[in-house]
Amino acid sequence: MKKNLIVFGTRPEAIKMAPLVQEFKKHNDKFETRVCVTAQHREMLDQVLEFFDIVPEYDLNLMKPNQNLYSLTGDIILELKEVLEDFQPDYVYVHGDTTTTMAASIAGFYSGAQICHVEAGLRTHNKRAPFPEEINRQITGRIADYHFAPTTASEQNLLKENIDPKSILVTGNTVIDALMDSSKRVENLENAEIEKLKALVDPTAKLILVTGHRRENHGDGFIRICEALKEIALQNKDTQIIYPVHLNPNVKKPVYELLSDINNIKLIDPLAYPAFVWLMNQSYLIITDSGGVQEEAPSLGKPVLVMRETTERPEAVEAGTVILVGTNKELIISEANSLLTDNLRYQTMTALHNPYGDGKACERIVEFIVKL
């Protein structure tokens, strides 16, 4: 029987790896599968684990106040050494582009395990954007033995880097697997957070959901974003903006200083995953700098404005399901106003095909590993 160790540390990783954990658990006759969380994020990670009924066999609990990339990287590698020596997995699965991803792939490589990279092959080719994620992903790509690419464009990126074609499988993105499962779960879920949102949402208004946290937008970028949101709210009284504000003071401070006194903008605490899925479903338009939301929202038929200068997810831009606006105040305002007022453009954008898959990515990954 082969041994799988699935490693993740942040909320986005947990969402995207949860369906893979569940799929492998269906094959307990072929695999012993264990989960290790680094808890690079803690509270937000725990909410996802609870929602998907996942109890990790290993919890490194590494999150510290004001943690930095130097100590976090070192701590992950050192702490994983004990886990890898205890379990001795054949395969170590990592996801995407976090510090956990990069450090776990190095540790797994040191242990002699084969490294399986889920959501492989995304590239901006700019090592400073997103930082440090672009380099994390590229390092993991050099180490990985198997590459599960979400799209053919991601596959092409890997082939250009001389990755063996036999080691690449185009799967679709596992976030669509998670979203399809979650959308069903939240329909009848008794959830206090969702009940609070129901009381907050104005059913007569067009709802704009905003999320923003990226490091490269800190400072002037967030000031421009907030100024744009303020103008959108003031120019469109029939809209309601709901913004779950990231706890990072580099985000929270400018957001509350610039937006807290506007009637049709509601600033709220970060949401657990079930409540966020519910709110995405209710929204008319989403403005974000999140990678995962770029993938999820088109499956729900929601147009997305992406507040990033570059994206490692160009398929959505090419498909027309998202629009890159960066932190350009005028562009954010003009594109939002266009989608709020031009019904034909809005309907055209919502009807476009999501390039990120059909919700069967995890099935394809497990089938691939079974054949090995």
Active site residues: 97, 119, 133, 213, 215, 246
Report DSSP state, residue 205: S
Sheet-wide strand order for 58-59: 58-59, 31-37, 2-8, 91-95, 114-118, 146-149, 168-170
Three-state DSSP at 92 gives strand
Q: If 0-12 CB within 10 Å is exposed, 13-18 middle and 19+ buried, where does residue 3 land?
A: middle
Of 169, 123, 125, 127, nearest in space to 145 by CA? 169
Beta partners for 37?
A: 8, 59
Three-state DSSP at 134 gives helix
Report DSSP state, residue 7: E
N-to-C CA span, the chain: 12
Runs of H (alpha helix) within the chain: 11-25, 43-51, 69-87, 99-111, 133-143, 152-160, 174-187, 192-200, 220-235, 249-259, 273-282, 291-299, 314-319, 329-341, 343-350, 361-371
Task: Tell me the two tokens of residue 349.
Answer: 């954008």
Residue 224, CA distances (Å) to 254, 264, 299, 328, 329 in order: 10, 19, 29, 7, 5
